[in-house]
């Protein structure tokens, strides 16, 4: 079970590399000049809600999804992640609303939360955990820990990038390109492949 928990944390860390998971929050922290403690608190809340919404989706549709996906969980997982990644890449265009909100107001915070949405990458992990009889608490906590550590670090270090000339437009351009989803899907595929091969 220790290996399973480590792989869950790794999957959480890899999935948060997607630009829509950390770039909006890092822009917000840059605009509002947040200190590390504020970034940590915001990341804990934002990623906590992100993971909780993924768990809610699993809970609401878990039985149907579990029955359908149990025969070939890896293929189901990659289709799910690739499909949602394509939708996320399209929605990432709305990041400009985070920039437009400036250093004040609640709209920027709302946009960060809306760009995150529910965590679809958690669903295959919870299905696998049920197959292994490991319960849901262990993978949920491990996945959240990996997401929070990696995502918080990306937000913090990303905040420093935006002060450098040309890094902000380059970062936004890279994030809005459809090709930006390719390395993200590859990372998630590696994480899920390792995790779902656990028997």
- In percent, the amount of the chain with pLDDT more than 70 equals 64
Number of domains in the chain: 1
Query: Within a 13 Å sphere around the CA of 141, how many CA atoms are in the beta-carbon half?
Result: 7
Which has the closest alpha carbon to 29: 147, 163, 143?
163
Give pLDDT tens digits for 29-67: 888 889 999 999 999 999 999 999 999 988 887 666 666
Which single residue is written with the structure tokens 């250093």?
103
Average pLDDT over residues 146-163: 90
Q: Is the pTM of this model over 0.85?
A: no
* DSSP reduced 3-state for 34: coil
Going by pLDDT thresholds of 50, 70 and 90, the confidence category of residue 190 is: low
Give pLDDT tens digits for 167-188: 666 666 665 555 455 555 555 6
State the residue range of the domain holding 63: 2-196
CA torsion 141→124→9→34, rounded to 10°?
A: -80
């Amino acid at each position: 079970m220790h290996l399973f928990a480590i792989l869950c944390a790794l999957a959480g860390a890899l999935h948060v590399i997607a630009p829509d998971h950390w770039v909006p929050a890092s822009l917000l922290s840059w605009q509002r000049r947040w200190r590390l403690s504020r970034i940590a608190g915001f990341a804990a809340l934002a990623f906590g809600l992100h993971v909780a919404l993924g768990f809610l989706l699993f809970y609401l549709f878990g039985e149907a999804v579990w029955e359908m996906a149990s025969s070939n969980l890896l293929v189901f997982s990659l289709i799910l992640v690739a499909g949602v990644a394509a939708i996320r890449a399209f929605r990432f265009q709305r990041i400009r609303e985070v920039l437009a909100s400036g250093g004040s107001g609640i709209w920027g915070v709302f946009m960060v939360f809306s760009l995150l949405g529910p965590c679809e990458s958690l669903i295959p992990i919870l299905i696998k955990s049920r197959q292994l009889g490991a319960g849901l608490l262990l993978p949920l906590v491990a996945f959240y820990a990996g997401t929070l550590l990696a995502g918080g670090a990306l937000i913090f270090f990303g905040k420093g990038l935006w002060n450098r000339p040309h890094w902000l437009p380059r970062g936004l351009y890279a994030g809005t390109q459809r090709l930006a989803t390719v390395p993200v899907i590859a990372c998630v595929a590696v994480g899920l492949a390792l995790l779902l091969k656990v028997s």
